[in-house]
Amino acid sequence: MKYTVDKKESYTVFTLQEPKLNSLVSPELKTELILMGNEGVSNIILDLSNVEFVDSSGLSAILVGHRICSNHNGILAICHLAENVERLIKISQLDNVLYITPTVQEAKDYTMMHELEREMSEKGEAKEDTGAEE
């Protein structure tokens, strides 16, 4: 499987360099996503700009990434979907579960907003725990 990884402080951009996300590629993608989760990566941007076809095993790999990010209080954002891939996601009703953006930049912006909201929420909970007032 060919891919590139661009790690930043708040997110990691994973760009799949394959035309098909199918049963030949998806096990490797699942493994890479699990390893990223084990390394503490909580926000993953999955850039599918090179992917023209996804099958059910590919959707399964994407859902593994979603679960890993959710378990780390993060998000999996998917971007640059081919029309037929986006159609498959909608038919599978995963467009209500997954965060899909047209571009990597929009996914980065969404991820940064998610991180800010999470930090604000954690600070609010810490104040409640200590009884501190704002």
Q: Which fold has domain 3-130?
A: Transcription Regulator spoIIAA (3.30.750)
pLDDT (tens digit per residue) in 91-107: 999 999 999 999 999 99
Distance CA 88, CA 51 (A): 13
The whole-chain average pLDDT of the chain stands at 92
Domains of the chain by residue range: 3-130
> CA nearest 58: which of 45, 40, 43, 46?
46
pLDDT (tens digit per residue) in 18-29: 999 999 999 999
